């Protein structure tokens, strides 16, 4: 079965890709492909720079559509020919450098070959010829030419285009099959990760036939139109460190020990001096988090730790040494070294309400938000997004107020078996928190079973009469270090208020698709009501016409915390 069957004209291609013909013709013949890219460079691990060519928005949309259909056709080919895609591990779902390295774990011999100028090897004529002559496509030359034009730049496949990975894998399929045949003959396993080819075996007689094997492999590679990078071709023995796609594979999949030591050293330098370097150049928190995330990814792969929606590690103290280093860094990044004041709300929708109120009232709170000349907004505060990573390392639920109490425990020497006292560790290193972290909860102070009452008790705020009185009058209080607790005022003569109560009656009674807003899950009926997510979406889209006056005391509290916060 051919997904692209009967495509003979540009009209046919337009319908199949679900891209308007005028957009295709505009990109191809008016704007032209050579004017549809921008470029930037990234450093190579081996030194030098790699050029990344990024397509324009319109061209990227077209390429993504081509990519989806090519992958669909690839799956059809695999299924029809009962092929298991176990060779190519780059640019494929559920494949990675870990799955690639795992094949070669604990082997007597590991042989690596690197292909030189990999993407440049796929020149325009080669791409067009593949689409025209490959039995799974067999496009007429005019369509093959258009596809090559849409996916090539400066005469070859560009790094940075969504289509380049799938096209390289499709064209390399013939190479992979030939190399797999040779590998089986010599009793080796074979995988490819883009331009990185790896063979491995436990066959004790392999060295006797190595030169013959190597000659055959090199002949196939050169015949297939690729050039071998001789500098990166190497045979690795079991009694030395064996590396596959950057990972050590001697006993188990692991990172280079030096990489971990360097990462830990960078973190310590960051904590002590507020900055650090990678390869001699000033680096960012995101770069360091990328290194920690990579280390953690390998750990989780080895331990088969897959976090599902309702599963977390039972105790934070169960984290291993590398995980605790990552946990400490995350605490620093989000709560101590945060570049903006961090707001943590009780529910997912609360932050949407506050953002919408700030946009409506931006002229009153220049410390918190700025309106740009193009009409967009620049928030000077951040809102914590509760990710699965934060849930894993801090036991934060994806919603609710429990995470606030748990975060407070990291600030204080409370239940220290489960919660490391990171605030004290940073204090010993003379690390001063850069910005405040603000908890915002519903004003339900009269109810001892509600989250804000429980948090006030846990933080011992209730025992400080003066601070508690200040909190009730100004709607905020400092509870530890740079950690603050805030709420909103009571409205409509209520004894308890949720943040939704701050909206006026007209907003709360908004009809959407003939349904009314119902925030109480016990009263909610799908045929009659919509919930908080829909309401928040409505508020976000219609903030200009909504009355946010009742939000001012809360915004005033946030503004005072941010304005008065000092690191001295």
What confidence category does residue 44 fall into, taking pLDDT thresholds of 50, 70 and 90? low
Mean pLDDT of the 8-28 span = 93
Mean pLDDT of the 101-110 span = 96
Mean pLDDT of the 467-485 span = 94
Quick check: 388 pLDDT over 90?
no
Residue-wise DSSP of 38-89: EEEEEE-TTSSEEEEEEE-HHHHHHHHHHHHHHHHHHHHHHHHTT----SB-
Q: What is the pLDDT of residue 289?
A: 94
Mean pLDDT of the 175-184 span = 95
Closest to 485 (Cα-Cα) out of 474, 500, 496: 474
For residue range 219-264, list pLDDT tens digits in order: 999 999 999 999 999 999 999 999 999 999 998 899 989 999 999 9
Quick check: 307 pLDDT over 60?
no
Residue 564 makes CB contacts below 8 A (sequence gap 6+) with none
Mean pLDDT of the 562-566 span = 93
Beta bridge partners of 515: 512
Quick check: 306 pLDDT over 60?
no
Mean pLDDT of the 387-408 span = 84
Region of poorest pLDDT, from 78-92, 253-267, 487-501: 78-92
Residue 135 makes CB contacts below 8 A (sequence gap 6+) with none
Mean pLDDT of the 164-173 span = 93
128-163 core/surface letters (b: 16 or more CB in 10 A; e: else): bebbbebebbebeeebbbbbbbbbbbeebbbbbbbb
Q: What is the pLDDT of residue 315?
A: 56
Query: Residue 377, SS3?
Result: strand
Quick check: 51 pLDDT over 80?
yes
Quick check: 9 pLDDT over 70?
yes
Q: What is the pLDDT of residue 4?
A: 67
What confidence category does residue 45 fall into, taking pLDDT thresholds of 50, 70 and 90? low
Q: What is the mean pLDDT of the chain?
A: 91
Q: What is the pLDDT of residue 477?
A: 96
Quick check: 308 pLDDT over 60?
no
Quick check: 89 pLDDT over 90?
yes
What confidence category does residue 310 fall into, taking pLDDT thresholds of 50, 70 and 90? very low
Quick check: 362 pLDDT over 80?
yes
Q: Are 202 and 113 in contact (CB under 8 A)?
A: no
> And the tokens for 33?
């492909």
What confidence category does residue 74 fall into, taking pLDDT thresholds of 50, 70 and 90? confident
Best-predicted range by mean pLDDT among 76-80, 518-522, 533-537?
Answer: 533-537
Distance of CA 29 to the CA centre of its chain: 36
Best-predicted range by mean pLDDT among 151-160, 304-313, 412-421?
Answer: 151-160
For residue range 136-157, list pLDDT tens digits in order: 888 999 999 999 999 999 999 9
Q: What is the pLDDT of residue 1?
A: 60
Q: What percent of the chain has pLDDT over 70?
A: 95
What confidence category does residue 416 fall into, taking pLDDT thresholds of 50, 70 and 90? low
Mean pLDDT of the 51-55 span = 91
Quick check: 426 pLDDT over 60?
yes
Q: What is the pLDDT of residue 47?
A: 57
Q: What percent of the chain has pLDDT over 90?
A: 71
Mean pLDDT of the 106-133 span = 95
Q: Are 556 and 440 in contact (CB under 8 A)?
A: no
For residue range 316-361, list pLDDT tens digits in order: 557 888 999 999 999 999 999 999 999 999 989 999 999 999 999 9
Residue-wise DSSP of 156-184: BPPTT-TTHHHHHHHHHHHHHHHHHHHHH
End-to-end CA distance of the chain: 70
**H or E stretch at 15:** helix 10-17
Quick check: 314 pLDDT over 50?
no
Mean pLDDT of the 374-379 span = 95
């Amino acid at each position: 079965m051919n997904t692209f069957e009967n495509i003979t004209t540009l009209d046919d291609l337009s319908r199949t890709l679900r891209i308007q013909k005028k957009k295709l013709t505009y990109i191809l013949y008016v704007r032209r492909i050579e004017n549809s890219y921008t470029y930037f460079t990234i450093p190579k691990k081996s030194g030098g720079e790699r050029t990344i060519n990024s397509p324009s928005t319109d061209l990227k949309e077209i390429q993504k559509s081509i990519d989806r259909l090519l992958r669909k056709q690839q799956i059809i080919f695999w299924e029809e020919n009962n092929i298991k895609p176990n060779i190519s591990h780059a640019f494929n779902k559920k494949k990675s450098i870990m799955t690639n390295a795992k094949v070669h774990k604990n082997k007597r011999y590991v042989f690596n070959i690197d292909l030189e100028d990999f993407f440049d090897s796929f020149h325009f004529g080669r791409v067009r010829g593949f689409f025209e002559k490959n039995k799974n496509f067999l496009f007429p030359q005019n369509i093959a030419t258009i596809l090559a034009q849409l996916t090539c730049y400066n005469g070859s496949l560009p790094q940075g285009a969504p289509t380049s990975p799938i096209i390289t894998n499709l064209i390399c399929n013939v190479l992979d099959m030939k190399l797999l045949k040779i590998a089986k003959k010599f009793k080796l396993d074979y995988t490819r990760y883009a331009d990185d080819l790896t063979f491995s075996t436990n066959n004790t007689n392999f060295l006797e036939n190595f030169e013959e094997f190597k000659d055959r492999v090199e002949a196939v590679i050169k015949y297939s139109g690729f050039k071998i990078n001789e500098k990166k071709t190497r045979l690795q023995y079991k009694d030395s460190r064996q590396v596959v796609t950057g990972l050590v594979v001697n006993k188990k999949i692991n990172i280079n020990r030096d990489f971990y030591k360097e990462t830990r050293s960078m973190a310590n330098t960051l904590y002590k001096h507020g900055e650090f370097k990678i390869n001699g150049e000033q680096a960012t928190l995101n770069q360091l988090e990328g290194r920690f995330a990579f280390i953690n990814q390998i750990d989780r792969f080895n331990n088969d730790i897959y976090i599902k929606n309702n599963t977390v590690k039972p105790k934070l103290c169960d984290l291993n040494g590398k995980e605790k280093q990552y946990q400490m860094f995350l605490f620093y990044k989000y709560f101590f070294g945060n570049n903006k004041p961090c707001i943590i709300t009780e529910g997912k929708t609360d932050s949407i309400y506050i953002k919408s109120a700030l946009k409506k009232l931006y002229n009153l709170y220049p410390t918190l938000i700025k309106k740009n000349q193009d009409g967009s907004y620049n928030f000077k505060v951040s809102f914590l997004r509760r990710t699965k990573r934060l849930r894993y390392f801090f036991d934060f639920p994806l919603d609710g107020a429990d995470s606030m109490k748990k975060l407070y425990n990291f600030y204080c020497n409370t239940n220290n078996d489960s919660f490391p006292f990171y605030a004290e560790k940073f204090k010993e290193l003379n690390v001063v928190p850069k910005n405040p972290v603000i908890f915002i909860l519903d004003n339900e102070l009269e109810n001892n079973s509600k989250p804000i009452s429980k948090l006030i008790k846990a933080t011992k705020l209730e025992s400080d009469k003066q601070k508690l009185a200040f909190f009730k009058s100004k709607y905020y209080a400092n509870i530890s270090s740079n950690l603050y607790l805030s709420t909103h005022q009571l409205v409509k003569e209520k004894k308890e208020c949720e943040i939704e109560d701050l909206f006026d009656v007209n907003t709360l009674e908004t009809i959407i698709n003939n349904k009314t807003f119902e925030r109480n899950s016990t009263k909610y009926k799908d045929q009659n009501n919509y919930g908080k997510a829909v309401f928040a979406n409505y508020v976000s889209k219609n903030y200009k016409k909504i009355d946010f006056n009742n939000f001012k005391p809360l915004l005033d509290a946030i503004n005072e915390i941010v304005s008065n916060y000092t690191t001295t």
